[in-house]
Structure 1
Amino acid sequence: MTLDRLRPYVSGLLSPAIAGAARLRLTPNFFSAVALIAAFAAGGAFYFGEIVWGVILVAVNAVFDAMDGALARELEVASLRGDFIDHVSDRYADIVIITGLFAGGAASWQIGVFALTGVLMSSYMGTQAQALGVGRYYGGVLGRADRLVLLIIAGLLDLIFAAPVYGLPYLGWLLVIYGVFGHYTALQRIVYIWKRL
């Protein structure tokens, strides 16, 4: 189910933008920085109830996050430091966006913490596989690309249908989904790693 498998195709769609960035001598770290700034701004927008801006900024984060790695490969400057920066930026992006959602009232703090721990644990297991010599693994039902697409969809649904569903807005239910499927994805990755140790 995970949309992370589509990254090569997304990179192909971004080829014109990547070529333009290379001509302008922009660096992969530039795109990582802009993606992170967009994530912080999205978290702030959700906190203040500005769903339109939140959705737009999440989309900006997604596009620029896809471009940093693609540009690094295009320029043949991919490095461990760049990979490290990308992972750190992604985790901070996850934290500020999810915190912005539940601190802004989309759901209770309990649901928010459940969502946040699910997302962080699933992401951690993906890189822990590599640390243990199994090789980086991003399988499971809910990857980062899935989360970003679902976040944009939930935000649009809240804009179109303002009424809550069983007491929660769509963005609140999204946090429930993040929690349930985030922890389930972490469990899938734990089992995958364990079997290969």
Structure 2
Amino acid sequence: MTLDQYRSVADRLLGPWVRAAAKIGLSPDQVSVLAFVAAVAAAGAFAVGEPVFYILGAVCVLLNGWLDIVDGALARHLEVASDGGDLLDHVLDRYADIAVIAGFTVGIGAYALGFVAVTGVLMTSYMGTQIQAVGIGREYGGLLGRADRLALMGVVGLVAAVYSAPVVAGLNVVGLLLALFAAVGHLTAVQRFLGAWRDL
């Protein structure tokens, strides 16, 4: 299950955003940087760990996800898609993932869990790009793609704003999210690897 399979649906909703970005003269690379800035703002808000900041963080992380779709659509609209833009987008996405997970981790002080979570997320993304590098094609599948993670982070941010008490094994909803990323992230990486191996 992954929301990345609905990218075409999101693309159809992008028209007004793409036209607005083009009208004010934003380049796709500038939109990618704005998306990263939103992720850093989300990380800072989550690190505070207070209700109003969890709400702010949720809004920022969802904005990051939306702008991450807009940049590619804008590049196609302006007919300026390039390998350099694709590289910048991927690098900023990885740093955005690290920043937001670090923010959640600092907010609840679960550093070991945060480490395993971020390595799971990075391995999921690494497998997607490595599969592309060996010529099979970009892989968005798996148990949790980036769109799924962003949606979950946004939802968890909103839930944590109203309920931060422990839920299971002493973990609150943020801790459970990190545990999910830790477990499912590595499983998704393995799933992508096995699928690609079969296609070689």
Q: Does 1:46 align with 2:49?
A: no
Q: Do structure 1's residue 94 and structure 2's residue 97 form an aligned pair? A: yes
Alpha-carbon distance in 2 for matches of 1:153, 1:118: 20
Give the aligned residue type for 1:2.
T
- The amino acid across from 2:120 in the alignment is G
Following superposition of structure 1 onto structure 2, how do residues 1-197 of structure 1 map, counting pairs within 5 Å?
1-49=1-49, 50-105=53-108, 108-166=110-168, 167-197=170-200
Unmatched runs of 5 consecutive residues or more in structure 2: none
Aligned equivalents of 2:163, 2:43: Cα separation in 1: 21
The alpha-carbon deviation at position 76 of structure 1 amounts to 1.0
Calculate the TM-score normalised by the size of structure 2: 0.94
Q: Distance in 1 between matches of 2:161 and 2:41?
A: 19
Q: Which amino acid aligns with 2:57?
A: G
State the Cα distance separating 1:63 from its structure 2 match.
1.4
Looking at structure 1, the residues matched to 82 and 67 of structure 2 have their Cα atoms a distance apart, in angstroms, of 18
**Percent of aligned pairs sharing the same letter:** 50
Deviations 1:150-170 (A, max 9, x none): 111111111222322122121
Q: Equivalents in 1 of 2:17, 2:133: separation in Å?
A: 33
Q: Aligned pair count?
A: 196
Structure 1 gap segments, 5+ residues each: none
Q: What letter matches 1:70 in structure 2?
A: A
Q: Distance in 1 between matches of 2:8 and 2:103?
A: 30
AA paired with 1:122? Answer: T
For 1:62-86, what per-residue CA distance to the aligned partner results, in whole angstroms no more than 9, with x for missing partners?
1111110010011111110010000
Distance in 2 (CA, whole Å) between partners of 1:122 and 1:95 is: 13
Equivalent-residue separation in structure 1 for 2:198 and 2:67 (angstroms): 35
Which structure 1 residue ranges, 4+ long, deviate > 6 Å from structure 2?
none
RMSD, aligned α-carbons: 1.2
Q: State the distance in 1 between where 2:41 and 2:148 align.
A: 20
The whole-number CA distance in structure 1 between the counterparts of 2:176 and 2:147 is: 18
The 2-side partners of 1:44 and 1:161 are apart by 20
Render the CA deviation track for 1:85-109: whole Å, top value 9, x for unaligned. 000000000001101111221x521
> Equivalents in 1 of 2:24, 2:111: separation in Å?
44
